[in-house]
Amino acid sequence: MIEPFRTNLPLLRDVARVRMYTDCTMDEETILTRSADADAVMVIGFHVPDAMLDRFCGFDGGPGHVRCFAFGGTGVASYIDLARTREHGVRVCNIVHYGDHAVAEHTFALLLELAREVGRLNAEVRAGDWTGADGYALHGKTIGLVGFGGIGQAVARIANGFGMKVAVWNSHVDPMAAAGLGVDLIDDMGDLMERSDIVSLHLPLLAETAGIVTIRELDQMRPGTLFLNTARAEIVEPGALTARLLRGDVRAALDVYEREPLPLDDPLRRVPGIVLTPHVAWRNDEAYVGLTRQVVQSIRSFFAGGDFNVAN
């Protein structure tokens, strides 16, 4: 994202002095040192645990200096304690709709891998195996979406193109958007999962959505259901998805996990037929441009007294 950031930095001309490093480090001490005396910090790719937050902002009685964190993503609650920053008057910003199409396309890449196993078949043909495999038809199947914001709506449009039926858990759904995409609204999440051939999660991680998908709903998925998560692992009750998948009657493709990077001993790795990608659904050139611009706009707004993309 270095070049997209450089392209957008002129937005801060005559607003703020910028200190930018172009190497990659996740080391907390290095990040703290490089952010010395900064009023605002852009947070991309690293977590800000409470001890680090204390030193950034002086919550521990030290000489804190940061008054604004501009987060380059939508799941900021899993990176920074929003309640704590709000209590101390420190602004946290996130970004919106920067990767709607990227995540929707990756969702279908995962679904198609479950349906047609192209990766496995490619490896087999290269090894001289011409056995092949039967595919799983998407046309006419029902995909149930838990979450219907920008990403969920983009997924629905792609699903319509495949001739699929789209059902949506009816929580805070824009009725005009639902009507325009011809979706079936279902009030109970468990009922949605029971009716769907494919279940795909597209909720943001907020205080009210953390753990909202429980074992009760997951238990209602029928054997043979395909399950996708390109949203956040934390919207699922801790341990519930692993327990459900280890029963072996539901196939899944995941891009997000309770612990990232996914540990080598994580039981998810033992789930038969699971497809795993390393939290990359949002990553493409178009998303990088939108992400970096919004992060810089958040900083500019903070210094100018505005409220652009405030998350807390």
Query: Would you call 146 helix, strand, or coil by DSSP?
Result: strand
**Tokens at 272, concatenated:** 């038969």
Sign of torsion over alpha carbons 237, 243, 233, 238 = positive
* Statement to judge: residues 19 and 61 lie in one domain: yes
Do 204 and 149 contact (CB within 8 A), yes or no? yes
* Statement to judge: residues 138 and 202 lie in one domain: yes
**In a domain? residue 25:** yes
Q: Tell me, what DSSP letter sits at residue 237?
A: P
**In a domain? residue 133:** yes
* Statement to judge: residues 93 and 117 lie in one domain: no
* Statement to judge: residues 131 and 62 lie in one domain: no
pLDDT exceeds cutoff 90 at 78: no
Question: CA 113: distance to chain centroid?
Answer: 19
**In a domain? residue 8:** yes
pLDDT exceeds cutoff 90 at 62: no
Do 262 and 275 contact (CB within 8 A), yes or no? no
**In a domain? residue 310:** no
Portion of the chain with pLDDT greater than 90, in percent: 91
The helix or strand, by DSSP H or E, that contains position 276, with its residue range, turns out to be strand 275-276
* Statement to judge: residues 86 and 228 lie in one domain: no
DSSP 154-200: HHHHHHHHTT-EEEEE-SS--HHHHHHHTPEEES-HHHHHHH-SEEE
Terminal-residue alpha carbon distance, the chain: 25
* Rounded Cα distance, 41 and 213, in Å: 33
* Statement to judge: residues 188 and 251 lie in one domain: yes
Active-site amino acid positions: 232, 260, 279
**From 70-79, 178-187, 196-205, the region with the lowest mean pLDDT:** 70-79
Number of helices followed by number of strands (H, E) in the chain: 12, 10
**In a domain? residue 312:** no
Q: What are 7-57's pLDDT values in tens digits?
A: 999 999 999 999 999 998 889 999 999 999 999 999 998 999 999 999 999
pLDDT exceeds cutoff 90 at 119: yes
* Statement to judge: residues 88 and 195 lie in one domain: no
Overall number of domains in the chain: 2
* Statement to judge: residues 144 and 183 lie in one domain: yes
User: Torsion angle of alpha carbons 244, 242, 49, 100, nearest 10°?
Assistant: -70
* Statement to judge: residues 157 and 266 lie in one domain: yes
* Statement to judge: residues 9 and 118 lie in one domain: no
* Statement to judge: residues 157 and 259 lie in one domain: yes
Q: Which range of residues forms the domain containing residue 71? A: 2-97+285-304
* Statement to judge: residues 146 and 220 lie in one domain: yes
Q: Residue 57, CB half-sphere, CA atoms under 13 Å: how many?
A: 24
Do 310 and 93 contact (CB within 8 A), yes or no? yes
pLDDT exceeds cutoff 90 at 301: yes
**From 124-133, 200-209, 249-258, the region with the lowest mean pLDDT:** 200-209
CATH number of the domain that residue 180 is part of:
3.40.50.720
**In a domain? residue 23:** yes
Q: What are 251-295's pLDDT values in tens digits?
A: 999 999 999 999 999 999 999 999 999 999 999 999 999 999 999
Per-residue pLDDT, 60: 87
**In a domain? residue 309:** no
**From 26-30, 155-159, 213-217, the region with the lowest mean pLDDT:** 26-30
Do 9 and 2 contact (CB within 8 A), yes or no? no
Phi-psi domain of 127 (left: phi exceeds 0; alpha: psi -120 through 50; beta: other): alpha
**In a domain? residue 150:** yes
